[in-house]
Structure 1
C-alpha cells in the first residue's frame, strides 16, 4: 500500500470569520488548486470547545516525493504568500504521512 502524505493548515480566530471564509474560498482556493501533484484538497470548519481552529485545509499528495516537489513549487510559494495576508490570531501548518487503519466490523 502506498503511503499518502498530507499538508494540514489550521487557521485560528480570524478577525472577521465570515469575511475570512469568503476571501479564502474566492482567492486562496483557486491558488491551491494549481499546486502540482495535489491529489485532494479538503476544507473543514470544526466547531468545538477550547482551542479549536476556525478553518482547516488539508492538501493530500500520493507520496513524499510528490509533496516535496509541491512544497518547492512556485504555486505553493504563491499560496504561502497569500496565506500570510489573512488576519488570524495564528496559523499552524504541519505535514504528515497518513496511515489508513481499518476499523473492525
Structure 2
C-alpha cells in the first residue's frame, strides 16, 4: 500500500516570490529524499480557506516513508520549509487506499 505525505501551504505573503523560491530551492531538496516515488504540486482552486499550494510526496509503503523521515535529506527539506513566509502550513501523512480497482 502506498504512503503519502501531504503539505499544504496557506496565504504566502508574496505568492509569486514564494512559488519561485519553492521551485528553485525546495523542489531539488525534495527530489533528493531517498525512497521518494513521486512528487506532485497542485495550485488548488476554491474559495476562502483553500491552500495556496499543495505538495504530495509519494512512497512505496510506510516503511519507505519512515526510512525517508530519518534521512539527512528530509531534515534539509524541513529546515528549508520553515523559511517560507506563509500564514500556516499543514502536514499529514497516511497509507493510500486506491479504490479505483
What TM bracket, shorter-length normalisation?
A: over 0.9
Aligned to 2:36, the other structure's residue is in SS state: coil
Residue number in structure 2 paired with 1:83:
81
Partner of 2:47: 49
RMSD: 0.8
Decide which of 9, 19, 23 is 1:11's aligned counterpart: 9
- The alpha-carbon deviation at position 7 of structure 1 amounts to 0.2
Task: Pick the structure with greater CA Rg.
Answer: 1
Which consecutive residues of structure 1, in runs of 5 or more, have no partner in the other structure?
none
When normalised by structure 1's length, the TM-score is 0.94
Structure 2 residue runs without a partner (length 5+): none
In structure 2, distance between residues paired with 1:65 and 1:55: 27
| Over 2 Å off, 4+ runs | none
Report the CA distance between 1:96 and its aligned residue: 1.1
Counting matched residue pairs gives 101
Q: CA deviation at 1:50?
A: 2.0
